[in-house]
Amino acid sequence: MLLPELSEIGKLRKKLGITQSELARISGISQSLIARVESNTVDPRYSKIARIFRALNELRGKGITASRIMSRNVVSVQLTDSIEKAAERMKKHNVSQMPVFDGKKIVGSISEDIILEQIAKGADIHELSRKRVEEFLDDSFPVVSVNTPLSTISVLLEYNKAVLVVKRGEIKGIITNADLLKVVHS
């Protein structure tokens, strides 16, 4: 097995967002050896470096969690808000779907697709604008914790337009396919 350059260890570790101590625990190598390898002050045995790179490769898919890729600004509307307000918020914040709340409780979602579908069916625009969001409510987005891995989120997004991220019952962010594309780009 041909290994990358030793200088890549620190770069990969930082990209995965883990500390030297975490890498040491996962790879079974001492933290001090990892620090010396990263600072280029030691020429370690091949077997030690192979263990470090094996651990880094295993973490590549597991290291990205919801908290790292979520958008923290969750644009939403209330159940009793008008469709006009929902459309204005979508346009202003450049989103195509939003969670819908009844107070602080998530009760569903609304998307531009639902609104555009009503227009395509011939709904009177002025009348539609005055109607409440609750009349066009769609299912709620799935809810995950801040520690949910990317692999789980990507599966959920195959079947849903967004995923809400919570910590201790409080909404901390939202993830859409656009957020996944940012991960691929970085």
Strands 105-111 and 143-145: unpaired
CB 132 within 8 A of CB 78: no
CATH topology of domain 8-62: 434 Repressor (Amino-terminal Domain) (1.10.260)
Q: What is the CA radius of gyration of the chain?
A: 23
CB 132 within 8 A of CB 115: no
Q: Is the dihedral of CA 4, 10, 16, 19 positive or negative?
A: positive
> Edge to edge, what strands does the sheet with 143-145 contain?
143-145, 163-167, 170-175
- Residue entry with tokens 């008008």: 82
Of the candidates 69, 17, 62, the one whose C-alpha atom is nearest the C-alpha of residue 174 is: 69
User: CB count, 10 Å around CB of 117?
Assistant: 12
Residue 62 has a pLDDT of: 59
pLDDT in tens, 22-63: 888 888 989 999 999 899 888 888 888 888 887 877 766 556
pLDDT in tens, 136-167: 999 999 999 998 888 788 889 989 999 999 99
Residue 44 has a pLDDT of: 86
CA–CA separation, 102 vs 75, rounded Å?
14
Q: What is the C-alpha end-to-end distance of the chain, expressed in Å? A: 27
> Coil, strand, or helix at residue 125?
helix
Q: What phi, psi does 62 have (nearest 5°)?
A: -90, -20
Q: Does domain 67-185 have CATH number 3.10.580.10?
A: yes
Q: How many CA atoms lie within 13 A of 99 on its CB side?
A: 24
pTM of the model: 0.65
Sketch the domain layout of the chain as residue ranges: 8-62, 67-185
All residues at 6 or more sequence positions from 168 whose CB lies less than 8 Å from its CB, including other chains: none
Confidence of residue 3 (pLDDT cuts 50, 70, 90): low
